[in-house]
Every structure is written in C-alpha cells, then in structure tokens.
Copies of this chain bind each other. A is one copy, B any other.
C-alpha cells in the first residue's frame, strides 16, 4: 500500500471521470451563453492574466495554438474578446477580454463557485489544499514526460 506508483495510478484513474463529469455540468450551464468548455478556458485565462497572444494562451493550457485560435475566433464573434494591435510586434496580436466578456466570465465563475462550495463536504480545507499540491506536482512531472517524448 505504500507503493507510490500504485497510488498515483489510482489518482489518474479518478481524474478522468472527474474531468468528464465536470465538463458535462459546466457545459450545461454554458450552453445558454453560447460558450463551449474550451472557450470558457480561454476566457478564464484572459480575465485572470490580462491580454495575451494566442500562442501564450496555448502554452498555458498545454494545447496547440491552432486549437486556441479557433476558440479565440469564436469568442471574437461573440464579442467576449477583441484583438488589440501590439505596439512591439506587428504580427503578434494581443487578445483581450472585452468588458462584456469579463462580466460574463465573472458571472459564470460565481455560479460555479456557488455549486462547488456545497461539494465534498467531508473534506477539510487542509485536505483540499493537500490534494491541490499533489495534483500540481504530478501534473508538472507528467507534463515534462509528455514534452520530452
């Protein structure tokens, strides 16, 4: 039972259905606003870290820039996001959340936090913080393995 490999294996086994189920819940909430889960992720980055180029967003999300570009284009069409000319790089456009986009994301996030607050009632804050640390460390190492291959 003290085999860390086996325990991390169990973590990964838990993580996949969690992503699927949470995506289903989030997607249901988003449907009314015309957003997808991917678009929501992009909007989250922009709302949280300010204007950024498409390749930078892709790096943060561990995805190819081409896929992010699609989400950005869709978000522009919705008016949630807008391109801004970059004074330093004529070719590299900055993407920024519009006021409408920021407000929309704030509303989405508030609703999600509301629901999440009622979940996992048997877990203490410390336990959740520990889980966060473990997930961070595991993802860092798995990510390194994925990029080296």
Q: Do A18 and B125 have beta carbons less than 8 Å apart?
A: no
In which size bucket is the chain A interface? 35 or more
Q: Do A20 and B62 have beta carbons less than 8 Å apart?
A: yes
Residues in chain B near residue A139, CB distance under 8 A: 14, 17-18, 21
Residues in chain B near residue A146, CB distance under 8 A: 21-22, 24-25
| Overall SS of chain A's interface | helix
Q: Is A100 an interface position by the 8 A CB rule?
A: no
Q: Do A14 and B142 have beta carbons less than 8 Å apart?
A: no
Q: Do A134 and B141 have beta carbons less than 8 Å apart?
A: no
0/1 per residue, A62-73, Cβ < 8 Å to B?
Answer: 110000000000
Q: Do A135 and B131 have beta carbons less than 8 Å apart?
A: yes
How near does chain B come to A21, taking the closest CB pair, in angstroms? 4
Q: Is A106 an interface position by the 8 A CB rule?
A: no
